[in-house]
Amino acid sequence: MDIHIEGLVKTYQSEGRTVRALDGIDLHIPANQIFTLLGPSGCGKTTLLRCIVGLETPDDGEIRIGDQIVWSGRKRISVPPEKRGLGMVFQTYAIWPHMNVFDNVAYPLQVRGVRRPVIREKVSKALRFVQLEGLESRAATRLSGGQQQRVALARALVAEPKVILFDEPLSNLDAKLREETRKILRRFLTDLGITAVYVTHDRVEALALSDSIAVLNGGHIIERGDPQKIYFNADHRFVADFIGRANLVAATVLAQEADATVVQSPLGVLRCQKRDFSVGASVTLCIRPEFLLLSRFETGGSAGAADAAATATPLNLIEGRLETLDFVGEVYEAEVRVGDQLLLARVDPAVMVAAGDTVRFALAPEHGLLVME
């Protein structure tokens, strides 16, 4: 079941002024995908989710789920939440502490007056799907955080919704459990083939879970695409910066070549990923730390890794001074001074460098991303 949103506006009054939480949102969420609304706190993502489910009333616009209009200001349509055919998993799970697992999952069916044999069948099916079969009689308070999250998922699924919505459901879990539960959740939703709308501010969560991502800021959708597009080929500076660690450098377009855009920057003249900018345009050069290939620079010595790579392909070479080198596990994180610019790089432990060394980076043109403000 797909979702169409047109011209959605939602305002709040705060300290005597009007705040536009949603400022004319247009969005199509395809059926049978995991679609993530990603953005910083206060960007409007949770407000948008709550408008879809019916917990918030928009000021204007239209929401359609499949062929049914569930809210329209112009047509004066407002379908109540319980009649929209949606499931929802909240940040706090909303597990009833006085109920056992079975009754928690059965609750949506019980309030609708579903017959007891049907409830038992549907609850059993939902618990089996989330791998909690056999825990029906367990008290909710005796479950781990990850198990409680799965109970909440089973409760959302038991009524067989057309769409299921998630409001930062993993934020209360510790880092290791969050990673494990994220993988389980991805598998569950993929196996279900259901439309899922997922709200998060965690970019790793968004990249790992999603089929498509919409990045929001200030009540607007800034950009949307699949995770690879958003991470590697963002169009806007805000998106490139928000979705992952990045070196952002002001640059000016010097020329357009057949397979590259040439810019002038504080790092020198660089050949970058081909982008349709006019000559003379002011742009931002975005370089991910993992794409800066570092080697020690020795005058008159043998070529380092960056130099060796440069002989095979036309890489950009950037020289600087290594200021810090911090071991963080599988890699070192380094800060390198290039003129007035401080660059963050990830360094393989096999590269023999130390703070104070003169180093050289190799940067492939396709990894020099040019974005607009």
CB-CB contact of 224 with 214 (8 Å): yes
pLDDT reported for residue 227: 97
Question: Would you write out the chain's pLDDT as a tens digit for each of its 373 residues?
Answer: 899 999 999 999 888 899 999 999 999 999 999 999 999 999 999 999 999 999 999 999 999 999 999 999 999 999 999 899 898 888 777 788 889 999 999 998 998 889 999 999 999 988 988 888 899 999 988 888 888 888 988 898 888 888 999 999 888 777 887 888 888 888 888 888 889 999 999 999 999 999 999 999 999 999 999 999 999 999 999 999 999 999 999 999 999 999 999 999 999 999 999 999 999 999 999 999 999 888 776 544 444 444 544 445 578 999 999 999 999 888 899 999 999 999 999 988 888 888 999 999 899 999 999 998 7
pLDDT reported for residue 308: 44
Domain with CATH 2.40.50.100 in the chain: 245-371
Distance from C-alpha of 338 to C-alpha of 157, rounded to nearest angstrom: 54
Residue at 237: amino acid letter = R
Distance from C-alpha of 261 to C-alpha of 247, rounded to nearest angstrom: 18
Q: How many residues does the chain have?
A: 373
Q: How many CB atoms lie within 10 A of CB 120?
A: 14
pLDDT reported for residue 111: 85
CB-CB contact of 24 with 9 (8 Å): yes
Q: Is 276 helix (H, G, I), strand (E, B) or coil?
A: coil
Q: Report in angstroms the alpha-carbon separations of 301 from 45, 102, 124, 350.
A: 54, 71, 70, 19
- Token pair recorded at residue 342: 């401080």
pLDDT reported for residue 169: 85
Distance from C-alpha of 355 to C-alpha of 351, rounded to nearest angstrom: 13
pLDDT reported for residue 305: 47
What value does the CA radius of gyration of the chain take, rounded to a whole number of Å? 25
pLDDT reported for residue 370: 97
- Name the CATH code of domain 245-371 (choices 1.10.1270.20, 2.40.50.100, 3.40.50.300, 3.30.720.200): 2.40.50.100
Using alpha carbons only, what angle is made at residue 271 by residues 268 and 272, rounded to the nearest 5 degrees? 110
Question: In sequence order, which residues have a C-beta less than 8 Å from that of residue 287 and are 6 or more positions away?
Answer: 246, 247, 249, 343, 363, 367, 368, 369
Distance from C-alpha of 274 to C-alpha of 277, rounded to nearest angstrom: 9
Question: In sequence order, which residues have a C-beta less than 8 Å from that of residue 70 and are 6 or more positions away?
Answer: 54, 63, 64, 77, 78, 79, 84
Domain with CATH 3.40.50.300 in the chain: 3-237
Q: Give, for 18, the enclosing helix (H) or strand (E).
A: strand 17-29
- Token pair recorded at residue 311: 């002989």
pLDDT reported for residue 313: 55
Residue 212 CA to its chain's centroid (Å): 9
Question: In sequence order, which residues have a C-beta less than 8 Å from that of residue 187 and are 6 or more positions away?
Answer: none
Distance from C-alpha of 239 to C-alpha of 185, rounded to nearest angstrom: 25
Burial 31-47 (b: 16+ CB within 10 A, else e): eebbbbbbbeeebbbbb
Class of domain 3-237: alpha beta
Distance from C-alpha of 72 to C-alpha of 243, rounded to nearest angstrom: 33
CB-CB contact of 77 with 69 (8 Å): yes
